[in-house]
Amino acid sequence: VSSDRTAVNFDFSNYKFSWADEDCINPDEVLPIEISRGCIFKCSYCSYPLNGKKKLDFIKNPKNLYDHFMENYDRFGVTSYMYTDDTHNDSLEKLEHLYNNVYSKLPFKIKFSAYLRLDLLKAHPDMIPLLRESGLSSCFFGIESLNYESNKVVGKGMRLEKTVQTLNKVRTAWPNIFLQGGFIVGLPNETEEIANNWLNLVTDPTFPLDRVTLNALSLSKIQGVNGYWYNDIEKFPEKYGYTYSTNQSWTSNTGMTYSKAVEIQRKFSKKIRETNLNKKAWVTSWRLQNVGLTYDQFKSLTVLESKNTVNLFIDNYLKLLHTRN
C-alpha cells in the first residue's frame, strides 16, 4: 500500500505532460486537463484527500501551462479543454492569475468546461465576466440543496432566494454558456416534505439551469484504511443525525431514510424526463466534438445514427492508430 496516498511528493505545479503522436489528436478534440489539485473547502459530504488546501496551492506553473496549450495548438490545432479541477473558481486570485499569466497571452481564444461553486460567484461577482473572458463555455454547479438548513450544515450556506437570484444573474451574463446543477436528496435537516418542496422548484422548466442532476445521499458505514475517501458525515454520522441499519442504509433524525431519498430522487428524475428539461448535459457538446459531431448535428440524429457515427469514429481511429504504429 502506498504511503503517499495524497501524492504530496509529486511536484504537480512543474510537471510537464505531452500527448503522443499515437494518441491521434484531431483539431476539434476537447482534451482533459487538471489546472490545479485539491479544493480550499471541506464540505461534509465530500471525501477528496486534498480538501482544505490554501488558496493558490497546487496550481500549474503558468509558463508550463502556457507551453502546454501552445504545444497542443501548434501540433494538433486544439483550443478546447475539459478542466478536471475539483473547484475551478475557488478564489478570485486564482482566476486573475490564470487570465493575466496564461489566457491573455495566448494567440488564440481557449474554450473550457469546469466545475464551479455558485456561492463564490455571489461573493465575488467579478468572477462572472472574468470567467467568460477566460473562455468558459460550460460548467457544473454543485448546489446540492435549496434547503438552507441543510446547506449550512454541510458547508454551502446560500439561502434559496440568493441561489435563484445568482443563477438568474449568471444566466443573463452567460447566455451562451451551458449551466448544469447537481443536487443531493437526504442531506441533514431534510424531511420528505422539505425535499419535495425544493425539488418542485429545481425541476420546473423555468428554473435557470440547462440541466439538473439528482442523487440520493450515499453513505458507507464500512471505512477503509486510515479513513481515506470517506467524508465527514460517514466518519461522524451521529454528529449529523444519521444512524445505520446496514452498511449503506441510513436513517436521519428527521425521519428521512436512504430508501425514501432514492424514491424521491427517482420520482423527480422521472419528472425531468417527462418535461424534457434535460435536453443535453454540460459535457455533451465537448464529447460529441471528439467523435466529429456538433451539438446541432447530434440533435438531428436518431439514437441508431448516433451510435453508427461513434462506431465509424472508432473504426477510423483504429485505422489511424495502426498507421502511426
Q: What is the pLDDT of residues 58-114, one digit of tens each?
A: 678 899 999 999 999 999 999 999 998 888 998 899 899 999 999 999 999 999 999
Least-confidence region, from 48-57, 140-149, 248-257: 48-57
Give the integer Cα–Cα distance in Å for 82 and 94.
Answer: 18
DSSP category for residue 53: P
State pTM to two decimals: 0.84
Of 270, 272, 309, nearest to 289 (Cα)?
309
Percentage of residues of the chain with pLDDT beyond 70: 81
First to last CA, the chain: 35
Q: What is the pLDDT of residues 171-209, one digit of tens each?
A: 999 998 889 999 999 999 999 999 999 999 999 989 999
Give the integer Cα–Cα distance in Å for 17 and 72.
Answer: 11
Q: What is the pLDDT of residues 217-226, one digit of tens each?
A: 988 887 655 5
